[in-house]
Amino acid sequence: MSTEKLSVSLGRSTFDIIKDKVWRRLMMEFDYLDNTYGISGNDLCDDALYFESEECTWTKKVTSGKVIQKNMLRIPNNMIRMCLAMPQSSMELLDTDTGVSYQCELKQRKDIKGKFLANCWYDFSRQRRLKRGVVLSFYLRYPPATRLLVCVLNRSYVG
């Protein structure tokens, strides 16, 4: 579901409130990670260490209430082109609500273009007891694209 459709279904002011809360939480998470790994302003001044990071965000509505072990999360093609162009086989999925992280495999299928999060998606959706209609927000900072943050936007659907 696109953010435009989401804003229409939730109402403009509700959507803006949710969006602001999600961004604040995600930025706090990245500030925490930067502080944890000892990145300071002085480190960023060194030309050899400095690189510009970009962000990719998207939302996804859960369409199936059943959690099946074979389920995988499909990453949108435009996000693959923007954020996951480099070959990689794994990624960490971090639940920003609980702080739990899951190690994921990135898989590709021959019959369908795209990349999928495997293994961790089943564990995440089972532990969060996601139901049909839940809207999730994903945030990925790259390079390197090693950690995917996920946040539940509408908590009323979570079990």
State the pairing for strand pair 147-152/54-61. Answer: unpaired
135-142 vs 147-152, strand pairing mode: antiparallel
41-52 pLDDT tens trace: 333 333 333 334
- CATH, range 3-157: 2.40.330.10
- Residue ranges per domain, the chain? 3-157
- Return contacts of 83-88, CB within 8 angstroms, 24+ apart: 83/54, 83/56, 83/140, 83/142, 83/145, 84/115, 84/140, 84/142, 84/145, 86/143, 86/144, 86/145, 88/145, 88/146
Residue-wise pLDDT tens digits, 13-56: 665 666 666 666 666 665 555 555 444 433 333 333 333 457 88
Give the dihedral sign, CA 12/28/79/133: negative
Q: Where does the pLDDT of residue 102 fall: very low under 50, low under 70, confident under 90, or very high at 90 and above?
A: very high
